[in-house]
Structure 1
Amino acid sequence: MGIPVTLVQKKQLASLQETISKKEQTIERASFFIKEIEKGNLDLQLEAQDDDQLHAALVSMKDQLQKISKEEKERTWVTEGLAKFADILRQHNDDLEELTDHLLRDLADYMGINQAALFVLNTDEEDEPFLEMCACYAYNRKKYLHKRVELGAGMIGQAFLEKEPLYLTEIPEDYVAITSGTGKALPRNIVIIPLKVNDQMYGLIELASFTLIPPYRQQFLERLGESIASTLASVRIAQRTQRLLQESQQQAEMLQAQEEEMRQNMEELSATQEEMARKGTEIEHQIKAIQNSGIASIEFTPDGTILAANESFIQLMGYRLDEIQGKHHRIFMPDDQAHTADYQLFWQELSEGKSKSGEYMRVNRKGERVYLRGSYSAIRDNTGDVVRVLKLATDITAIKAAELDARQQVETLSGKQGQLEQLLEELHEKEHVLMSIMNEIDLPLVALDAHHRLITCNRAFEASFKDSPAACTPGADFLALLDSEAAQQAHRDRMEKVLQGETVKERITPAEGLPLEVTLSPLRNRQNEIVGAISCTKEVSERRPS
């Protein structure tokens, strides 16, 4: 049987082998290229071969993977950045200066930009708010600058009013220049990001860079701006609340110091007169500690109609919430002020966006006066119109009452002090007359209190104890002058009778000398209360039978 044979020319065989070799090399390079792509080497270049279709497919696959990788890196960069700055905002939300300093420094580093500035809305001047540069950063160093920008002035002020991000790639020559070690140059990109929450503006961030800021980083800045604005709003409320609490505390401390000063004055006067001591106790009970009621808040429409109020305000004014909702603010006003031109102007200015702060007198549900220290602030919508008015206040009624009471007590104290001085002068004069009378008596006289302590004595008594002058000192223990326990007990028995209202007269026979007759009479105060005894001692001559 014959076998079919195909004759191939030698030249055709060599061409066929060369083609097969090229295909093998192409497959080998494609395999190597795919493995490198699997390893993440997306920058590898593939040389074009005769098989354009395979080359195009592999390059397209690499381009798609590069695009996916780039998008993933951008998303990761945004996510990590938002988390990083959320931590910064959370850690430094109690100090505006420290917050803006850390925020801007880390933002410049994270974004890789050349200059940055942060402007915050300053409302200290209620009628003229402005943008204040709180932090500025350039070339890895903090710049200590202070700058004020009026609303609507320049690119910053205009961007604040428009409330929209601003991206500039064509920079005016007179706008800003970045200074480096090699000189000054205009940036290629200026970005101004509004800091707003619910269309309420709190400030701006301005960034300048030699390189263009890509769209995904622009979106990152806009999202970060909302977080910064929310934190700034919280910081502003906390600072305002702290300021109100500090003012209340200062008032309380001032009144406490006045109370302490008055108490000391009363203690000094009570040392010399029992009546003034009683009066001092009354004054101390009359002055009460000032207690802060906390922060009360209430919201109104621009014309003064009540929308809502917190529990502190409701308790302070004595109403239920449903009793005041829908009613006008004038229900808290005295009748003689609720319809005046000044009151109408007050609400007209609030509806125009003007803030008010100070001390206010209002009336509660019972018609009683309530004094408040607080502020009225306008809340605007996204068009800038005033839609609500918010009032924050603390109760200072107790402080006002204490101030009035303190003034009255000072006036009363001044009058009583004059009376006391006159009374003391009369008392010294009477004491002088009494001592003169006692010293005219040759018999020893001594006044004792209920505890046997010496109050006063005459010269005859002092002469009896001239060898022991300390025995005649006011406050000395009379029992120590008696020479035996029996004599001391006898004196106690006599004093007990005297304190019950009796006059005791007894004869005592000492071991040496003549018998003595001792007379103890009750000693009474101005209220006719027995507070001690007056003792008189005389010698008695015994008569002998003739």
Structure 2
Amino acid sequence: MIVWTIELKANNMSFSFFNLWNLHLMEPAIFLLEFFVIGTIITFYVANKEFAKAITAFTQKTKQKDEIIKRNIKYALQIGRGDYSTNSDEQETDILGKSLTIMKQNLLRASEKEKELNWISKGRDMVSDILRLHNDLEKLTYEVLVNVINYGGFIQGAFYIYEEDKNILKNYATYAYNRKKYVSQEFKLGYGLIGQCAYEKDLIYRTEVPEEYATITSGILGDKKPGSILMVPLITDEKLYGVIELACIDNKMSQTTIDFVKELSDIIARTIFNLKINQKTKNLLDEARLMTEELKRNEELLTKNADDMKAAQEKLEEVNVNLEKKVQEVEQSQVRQQTLLLNASEVISIIDENGIVLYESPSVKSILGYDANEIIGKNAFGRMSSNEANKVKESFETLLKKPWETIVVEFKYIKGGNEEIWLETIGRNLINNPAIGGVLFNTRDITQRKIAEFEQRMRGQMQALSENSPDMILRLNLEGKFYYANSIVKKYIDLDIEAIIGNSLNDVEIDKNLVVFFSGIIEYIKSNNEKFESEFEFETVLGERVFLFNAIPEYDENTVLETILVVAHDITDRKHIENEIKDKNFKITESINYAYRIQSSILPNTDMLRHYFPESIILYKPKDVVSGDFPWIFKKGDNLFVAAVDCTGHGVPGALLSFIGYFILNNIVDHDRDISASEVLDLLHTKVRHTLKQDEEGSEARDGMDIALCKINFNKKELQYAGAHRPLYYISDSVLTEYKGDRKAIGGVVFKNKIEKNFTNYTVNYKENDRIYFFSDGFPDQVGGDDNKTKYSTRQLREFIEASTENMEEFGKEVNQEFLDWKKDNKQIDDILLFGIKLKH
């Protein structure tokens, strides 16, 4: 309208439809302007109407969203209260509803998993309690079998113990359908399902039960074959101790039930091992007790002999008073006897184990009165009277049973059919000597000695012992005068006995040092009135010799010190051996110390670990100078490899194996591509076997190593873990998670019929201040505690770590003190190695 008015006035035209039409013809732009205005109005109207519709739709959609949110809140509250029964499709129409449904399903699975783990833990605790209650193997196997069958829902089972000396598996307990069964079975390794399970050291689970397998007989079921069977080897420290066999009526066992039985394998095996060790210890204690009783009886016998000797000495003094008139006769008899002893000839006889004479020396003619040919090839005891023959036969049989003994026998013999003589024979078993091949008897005529029986009684047991002793025996008084010397003295001093007896120390031509030594013995016993013992070296006919001198004070009837009995035992050879042993020990010790310096120079320590992780510790306590356990650290790019390695054995053997492991690990990580933690263990396993030639046919070398290995990537904040028999404890937000290592070692003999699995690789994305712990088996296996017999155990170490401080330096002090408090004064039984690391970016 405004445009029309302005244009009409500009052209001096009045307002009319005609003038408006002419104006439009004159100014066509007015048409465009009018069309624009009208179009704008129409557009505004349409847009306003669509906006109103949009507002209405938005309001409805908002209301629907509110309803969905309310339903989701109600659904989340039900899940939070543990009510997992709600399952409506409406909940899955939006992202939040779907997420809540997924969360519910995860929580439900976690709840079921927790129930399974609790069930397994409860069963394991039940079996552990049974294991602690029983020391008898048969009762233990039966109680364990019954409780496992009842707890696990099995209907029958059997318990087999591996008897290593016989290489068989023996049935110790059988239980079926709530009844004890008395079954006697034995399996060799590799024979039958039981033997196969033991040989492969792996469980056997079958749902296709052989036709010949035992059936179940009951009033309800009748005769029914089990639907499934499970055989689990009882193994600890890679060593077999038995097999447990279980059967179920169902065609399939739950995985939880199988895991439960597998969990029991190690604790049952360790208990069987401990029971066997305890039984061996008991047997050794019984043997020690019997030996103690035997020693006590021998001590009583020696006391009785001493009393008899004292009585004989008293009798000797009494007889001396009554026989003064016959001294000359006794002296002549003594000279005659000495002459006979020095000049007597012997009969040498060799008799086989059947009592047949193999050889007789020609001297038998003059001593026994017959030719040697008359007895060779005949019974050795045929010419004796029955009583005397039985006495010699008894000694002969004793020599056959106890070939290490030497036996002396005295017996009567009728010479020439009418002359009775006394013979003494010394027997030694030389059957195993190729040059002799029989029992050797040296026989001599002791008739004259028997005739001088009075002389023998006077000298008593002391002279008999001294004459046959390999030691020098002398008796001298407090002034140094010799009263007695046995014949062995001449062997070393080269003086006749007559030149010694009756003379004093200063009158006898012996080593001056020996004179001084004897004088010292006399002064010591006079002052202390007690036995004297000392080693002394002096020059003899045989050269410089070392003797162990024992000087025993002797008293008269009034307990007054009268004489000193000196017994000198030649220990030269023993001292030489001792010196050689000391020298060898010194050289061995030097070699071990050098090996220690080499090992210490290449192995990392806590300082090296703290270069990468300032809050970390390494507890390292070798059992011996060198160790079979060793820490290993290797940095490559953004990755840091850290491992605790436990080689077979400890000391020098373990250290040698540790060098192999150390350099193979370095070679794998340094030269190979960027590999995972499990791939490192797979390569280490193969290369250790190759290095120790365990992959060759017929190899029996079972040496190897356990290991816990971590690969830490700083940029990705990623931790990889793989283990051989060793776990990793990972603590994040005060929650401990255990990553178990695989149940196989690095290295060992290859089993052809067993397919080996690769090591498991665990990957964790860690956070700042998360902590990891891994260790060898030295700490858990340490014996100590209140009874000094209990092992520390992996469970106890886990509880200690779980409750420990986050400060790694304090933890290092506490764990070291924990070990010392547990070990007390007991011997450290293995190398100790433990890592504790607080992870940083």
Length-normalised TM-score, structure 1: 0.42
Q: Which has the higher contact order (CA 8 A, sep 6+)?
A: 1
TM-score by length of 2: 0.29
